[in-house]
Chains A and B, each alone.
Chain A
């Protein structure tokens, strides 16, 4: 079998890249996924879409991605609903330092056209009345942030790409990338061999291993982030509520359930995506502290998923100086879902040899070579 390009990973990034490439007229696009659609990080994420970041690049990626999400249902001609609900993210500050940082963040966000604003405690309580007023000092709010269904959004990209001729192979694992004289020659899976000169690494939690197959050392690692969901109830909360210092994100999805997650201190690096009772304890304590009425909700399920972390917590959307034809969409550090429209657009432009819509030198893998990269994304749970 021959392919113009092989994309490894059919999560939101891989499906989005496939769609964008096909949309630009590329033929013979093949996508492999080791499991089923949205089996990896995409399908395990917290279903949130936000533009409130501390780094300029993340703000731009997020803003332009939201612009696409607003039209995604129609543009991709998707028969089901992607459940895009723009009722905002309320980010609460609990310390003086956070409050100062958030003032800076909002200035940056507003300068980029993101409609975020600083809120007093009273204003925040108007937006989410059941917040514990003693748990925070101020907040920021962006009304166009919100929720999007990771399963249907990915399926929307997948079906659109498939209609344009992209071939998807699920439950098929890439086992080898054959490189000779610094040229990609083949991709070998557990079922077939594909001759190709171009490979996109969109393997999420496993992108480091895919890099290793091509002889490229990508400075990313994976770690498990846990999450839980409650029984559905009548709507009581519009926005996602986040605190970096308290370590929580929590939203009520359109279906009625509350989804909430937090990171685990000193998490062991690796591919474990299991569930722990320690997470359950800490999550319950934090949620009930900041949003007391949630104590009455029953937890029905918990799970885990991989953050693929880069050193500066910004994505790597990049070609590869050491290996022509090898492209990277990884290191999203927990935010690959919400950046997917820009990931797809930028990589497809790069692959087609076009000028990219925005300057993305800052997202190139080479930024880590001299370890003098200057920005670091602080707004991460």
Chain B
């Protein structure tokens, strides 16, 4: 497998090679890896890379998948335009 061309996070163009390199530096939780490589910070908010990265961490640490901490989920569920939010506040009053 070509790790350089294997995409883990498609929003931020993070490859399997990047992920393995950062785990070898000692960062082995989603939250730490996210803050350096930006995995999960793009428009899909980790919906794609979340599970992929979890599996890579599980393999790297040799621990069962269910022991790998999942990433923090923050609002919003999906991208919303700032002007749509402004419009919505007008309907409330």
List chain B residues, Cβ under 8 A from A80: 36
Known contacts A298-B80, A299-B85; A43 and B35 CB within 8 A of each other: yes
CB closest chain-B residue, reference A159? B25
- Distance to closest chain A CB from B49 (angstroms): 14
Taken residue by residue from 282 to 300, chain A's Cβ proximity to chain B (1 for < 8 Å, 0 otherwise) reads as 0011011000001111111
List chain B residues, Cβ under 8 A from A294: 82
- Distance to closest chain B CB from A285 (angstroms): 5
Tally of chain A residues near chain B (CB < 8 A)? 31
List chain B residues, Cβ under 8 A from A21: none
- Distance to closest chain A CB from B71 (angstroms): 12
User: Which of B36, B45, B75, B80 meets A151, CB within 8 Å?
Assistant: B36
- Give complex CA distance A31, B18 in Å: 28
Identify which of residues 69-87 in chain B touch chain A, using a CB-to-CB cut-off of 8 Å: 74-76, 79-83, 85-86
- Is the pair A231, B79 in contact by a Cβ cutoff of 8 Å? yes
**A230 lies within 8 A of chain B by Cβ:** yes
List chain A residues, Cβ under 8 A from B86: 281, 284-285, 288, 295
- Is the pair B74, A151 in contact by a Cβ cutoff of 8 Å? no
- Is the pair A298, B81 in contact by a Cβ cutoff of 8 Å? yes
- Chain B's interface size range is 20 to 34
Known contacts A38-B35, A39-B31, A301-B76; A280 and B81 CB within 8 A of each other: no
User: Which of B29, B74, B82, B88 meets A303, CB within 8 Å?
Assistant: B74
Known contacts A301-B75, A303-B74; A37 and B32 CB within 8 A of each other: yes
- Is the pair A284, B89 in contact by a Cβ cutoff of 8 Å? yes
- Give complex CA distance A151, B88 in Å: 34
Known contacts A151-B36, A231-B43; A275 and B75 CB within 8 A of each other: yes
- Distance to closest chain B CB from A243 (angstroms): 16
- Give complex CA distance A168, B84 in Å: 45
- Is the pair B82, A155 in contact by a Cβ cutoff of 8 Å? no
- Give complex CA distance A179, B12 in Å: 49
**B55 lies within 8 A of chain A by Cβ:** no
CB closest chain-B residue, reference A232? B42
- Is the pair A299, B32 in contact by a Cβ cutoff of 8 Å? no
List chain B residues, Cβ under 8 A from A361: none
- Is the pair B82, A288 in contact by a Cβ cutoff of 8 Å? yes
- Is the pair B85, A296 in contact by a Cβ cutoff of 8 Å? no
List chain A residues, Cβ under 8 A from B81: 295-299
- Is the pair A155, B74 in contact by a Cβ cutoff of 8 Å? no
CB closest chain-B residue, reference A282? B89
List chain B residues, Cβ under 8 A from A255: 38
List chain A residues, Cβ under 8 A from B61: none
Taken residue by residue from 206 to 239, chain A's Cβ proximity to chain B (1 for < 8 Å, 0 otherwise) reads as 0000000000000000000000011110000000
User: Which of B32, B43, B74, B82 meets A284, CB within 8 Å?
Assistant: B82
List chain B residues, Cβ under 8 A from A288: 82-83, 86
CB closest chain-B residue, reference A152? B36
**A103 lies within 8 A of chain B by Cβ:** no
- Is the pair A36, B80 in contact by a Cβ cutoff of 8 Å? no
- Is the pair B76, A302 in contact by a Cβ cutoff of 8 Å? yes
List chain B residues, Cβ under 8 A from A155: 36
- Is the pair A298, B36 in contact by a Cβ cutoff of 8 Å? no
Q: Across the A-B interface, give the 9 residue pairs with the lowest CB-CB distance, nearest first.
A: A295-B83, A298-B79, A284-B85, A151-B35, A284-B82, A281-B89, A295-B82, A284-B86, A36-B32
The 11 sampled A-B contact pairs (Cβ below 8 Å) are: A36-B29, A152-B36, A230-B82, A232-B42, A284-B82, A284-B89, A285-B89, A288-B82, A299-B79, A299-B82, A300-B45
